[in-house]
Amino acid sequence: MPSILSCLAHIRMWNKNTIVNKKILEITPYQPGKPIEEVKRQLGLQKVIKLASNENPLGPSPKAIRAIQKALAKINRYPEGSCFYLRQALSARLKVKPQNLIFGNGSDEIIDIIIKAFCEPEDEIVTSDVTFLEYKIIAWQNGRKVTTVPLKDFAYDLAKIKDILNPRTKVVFIANPNNPTGAYVARKEVEDFLKALPRRVVVVFDEAYLEFVDAKDFPLILRYVKEGRNVIILRTFSKIYGLAGLRIGYGIAKEEFIKYMERVRQPFNVNALAQEAAYAALDDTAFIRKSKAIVTRGKEYLCREFKKLGIKYIPSQANFILFCAPQDGLKVFQRLLTQGVIVRDMCQYGLNNFIRVTVGTKPENEKFIKALRKVL
Ligand SMILES: Cc1ncc(COP(=O)(O)O)c(C=O)c1O
C-alpha cells in the first residue's frame, strides 16, 4: 500500500504536470553572464572584472546619469507611455517619422512584440543556429516553431536562409553584426536576399552593435525601411550608450508595421528613468566617441595578443571577440574565473571550444590576457 507521503508526492507531481503549460518545459532559460558580486562571493576574490555581456566598460554616459538624478523626484508618476521626447529626438536624428519608431524594455521586448504582432499559431520563424539566443527562446515562449540555418564563415548564410523559406515562414531574425561571432553580412548579400523575397515575410535586422561597425560594405538597412520594405530594425541603448541596466531599446519600421506592434505593447513598458537617460545619452557625443575608440583600440590589442598566443579568433565588427580556446572552452572559462576574469563560455551556443570576450578598458584587457596566459 502506498504511504501517505508517497501519495502526497504523487498529488504534487500530478498538480505540477497539469497546472503548467507543458510547452514551457521544453525551454532552456537564457543564462546571462555571471554577475561580478556572485563570483567574488563564490570564489572569495577581492577584484573581479566582467567581460561577459558586451556592456560598455566605461560605465553609463555621464549626461545620462545627470538626467536620471534630475528625474528621480518624479518617479511617483507613471512614465510617458509613448516615449514622446525620445521619439522626437530619434526621429530627427534618423530622419524618419515619429510613427516609424517603437520603444521597448530593451530590444529583447521588441523581439517579443514582433512575434506576437506578426505570427499566427502555425507560422514559423527562421534564424541562424549560432546567434543571439533570445530569438529562439522568445519564439518558444510564444509557442512558435523555429528553424535554424548553419552559419557560413561565422556569419548568417542568407542564401541558405532564402532557400529554406516556406509558405509558413513569417519572420526572419538576422543579427548584424552577429552575436556571439562578431561577423557580419555585407550590403550585396542583403540586397540579393531581399530581392524577390515572399511578400508575407518580415525580416528583422538586429543592429545592437551597429555603433561599433567599421566595415565599409556594411548594409544601410534604414534605407530599406524608408523604401517601405517588410523590414524591421532593432537597436539598443544597452551597448555603446552604456544603459544596459535600465532596459531600453527601439525598433524602426514602416508605419503600418509599427501600428500592428503598438497593439501588443504594454502601456508603460519603458520606465521613466530609462527614457530620460536615453534622451540625454543620445546627445553625449563625447562619450560615444570615447566608447567607440576604447573598443577599436581594445580589439586591436586583443587580436595582437591572440596572434602572439597562436589563438584563432573571428574578426569582429562588434565590441566582443570570439576566440577558439586551445583547450576545452568550459575549463578555460572556469580557470579564468578563478583569476577574477568573467568571460562567456559558448556551451549554450553549441560552440564548446570557443569563448567570447567583451572588449574592456585597457587595464581590463591586459588583466584578461595575463590571466589567459596563466591558465593556458
Ligand atoms: C544581438 C543582440 N540583440 C539584442 C540584445 C539585447 O539588447 P537589449 O539589452 O536592448 O535587450 C543583445 C544583447 O546582448 C544582442 O546581443
| Model confidence pLDDT, tens digit, residues 239-293 | 999 999 999 999 999 999 999 999 999 999 999 999 999 999 999 999 999 999 9
Cα(270)–Cα(247) distance, rounded to whole angstroms? Answer: 8
Q: With a 6 A CB cut-off, is 205 part of the ligand 1 pocket?
A: no
Q: Cα separations (Å) of 233 from 4, 175, 225? A: 58, 10, 8
Burial class (CB in 10 A: 0-12, 13-18, 19+), 130: buried
- Helix (H) or strand (E) run with residue 127 in it: strand 124-128
C-alpha cell at 309: 598566443
Residue ranges of the chain that CATH labels 3.40.640.10: 62-282
* Residue to probe by mutation, ligand 1, list 132, 151, 176, 348, most atoms within 8 Å of CB: 132
> 240 CA to middle of ligand 1, Å?
12
How many C-beta neighbours within 10 Å does residue 148 have? 16
> 112 CA to middle of ligand 1, Å?
13
Q: With a 6 A CB cut-off, is 112 part of the ligand 1 pocket?
A: no
C-alpha cell at 15: 498538480
C-alpha cell at 332: 578555460
Q: With a 6 A CB cut-off, is 332 part of the ligand 1 pocket?
A: no
Residues 6+ apart with CB under 8 A from 89: 279, 282, 283
Cα(48)–Cα(295) distance, rounded to whole angstroms? Answer: 20
Cα(153)–Cα(151) distance, rounded to whole angstroms? Answer: 6
Cα(347)–Cα(341) distance, rounded to whole angstroms? Answer: 18
| Domain covering 30-58+286-375 assigned CATH 3.90.1150.10 in the classification | yes
> 37 CA to middle of ligand 1, Å?
22
| 32: confidence class by pLDDT, cuts 50, 70, 90 | confident
Cα(255)–Cα(230) distance, rounded to whole angstroms? Answer: 11
pTM for the complete prediction? Answer: 0.94
pLDDT of residue 15: 59
Q: Which numeric CATH code is attached to 62-282? A: 3.40.640.10
pLDDT of residue 27: 85
pLDDT in tens, 120-155: 999 999 999 999 999 999 999 999 999 999 999 999
